[in-house]
Structure 1
């Protein structure tokens, strides 16, 4: 993109979006600028201790804070949002679902899920649901939160019934929840399930 103010970098818009969250390949104008100016964008962010991560194969990019010392200190520019146990559980199960999909379905390029499929998968972990309507609302809220974080993308919403919605599970989950974190959380989940 070309700006009339010569002081503004041609990658300003995509840099600002990266500071707000991930940028995806389907955000065509931003993605095009990201790829075109990736060297300049990376150089810009390195000056403020941020690393530009681009996964062209899976079509996502985000900023990662650089560690400033051996203690893992950062400048704290990228906001870290602690997740509740339930949201951690949701993200880990979505990540595991994505891994199963990639190992099993070689024909399909993307994993799509519905709220009903999501509830069926989550049901055993939410044993203490007081009523079905509250449980459904709670899990729909978790789906919306995952969408805001960039882990899900709503691709079908033509019905008023949320059960008819369709979400794409985005592969950025693999970068945000590593195999080690997945294995650790799965062990913790197994212990939780055995104690029920």
Structure 2
């Protein structure tokens, strides 16, 4: 017979859970210890962030502090993704936009929205020099789709009477996968790259860009 918390474990394995689902969130809080203990037995870790109102599961890798060396060598359930230069910049922009939203918030509102135009304007601060605007626009659209697939964004219906641009909700998961320290590190790296001599080349993506787990 399945454990009482089995539906919650399976839901977490599909992606992040938010406190906007009040019933599920309340049950997650009540069963947090049991769920965490069960997941630990199979090499996974439960994260429940009450401040951000989200819960998610990760599979610590051998090079991470949370990795349990006493565990047998388990197959990877959750792949780690090497972010491209452009997608890294998008993640930085999302986190920066969300932080500004939280700092300016005057109530308990958690939902933060951003348009494609606003993101493109922010990304211009770190963009590689280019004269091919069509290619840059196509790259942004591709990165937005990837960010949505990874759980950083959620497409919402735009208010075309105000702005015809696509509108997105920034998911709180981005604050969990990109810590304040990592945000500052990536931002400073990008600034240093772009402030270097005009003839200097950026380090290749494989060696210079951070890796984040996917859910």
TM range (shorter): 0.7 to 0.9
1:3 corresponding residue in structure 2: none
Gaps of 5+ in 2: 61-65, 199-215
1:171 corresponding residue in structure 2: 172
* TM-score, structure 1 as length reference: 0.79
Closer, same or farther: CA 24–74 of 1 in aligned 2, 3 Å: farther
1:42 corresponding residue in structure 2: 36
1:147 corresponding residue in structure 2: 148
| Bigger RCO (CA 8 Å, 6+ sep) | 2
* TM-score, structure 2 as length reference: 0.73
The CA RMSD over aligned residues, in Å, is 2.7
The one-character-per-residue Cα deviations of 1:73-116 (angstroms, maximum 9, x if unpaired) are 9844332122112211211221122223323x132633210001
Q: Is 1:77 aligned to residue 71 of structure 2?
A: no
Task: Summarize the alignment of residues 87-102 of structure 1 with structure 2, pairs less than 5 Å apart.
Answer: 87-102=87-102
Closer, same or farther: CA 116–54 of 1 in aligned 2, 3 Å: same
Closer, same or farther: CA 131–29 of 1 in aligned 2, 3 Å: farther
Closer, same or farther: CA 77–102 of 1 in aligned 2, 3 Å: same
Closer, same or farther: CA 74–192 of 1 in aligned 2, 3 Å: farther
Q: Secondary structure at the match of 1:153?
A: strand
Closer, same or farther: CA 148–26 of 1 in aligned 2, 3 Å: farther
1:4 corresponding residue in structure 2: none
- How many residue pairs were aligned? 185
Gaps of 5+ in 1: 1-6
Task: Summarize the alignment of residues 1-196 of structure 1 with structure 2, pairs less than 5 Å apart.
Answer: 7-27=1-21, 30-64=24-58, 65=60, 66-69=66-69, 75=74, 76-103=76-103, 105-107=104-106, 109=109, 110-157=111-158, 163-195=164-196, 196=198
Q: Distance in 1 between the 2:146 and 2:5 partners?
A: 28
2:202 corresponding residue in structure 1: none
Runs of 4+ in 1 over 4 A off after TM superposition: 27-30
Verify the 8 A CA contact 1:21 1:62 in the aligned structure 2.
yes
Verify the 8 A CA contact 1:22 1:61 in the aligned structure 2.
yes
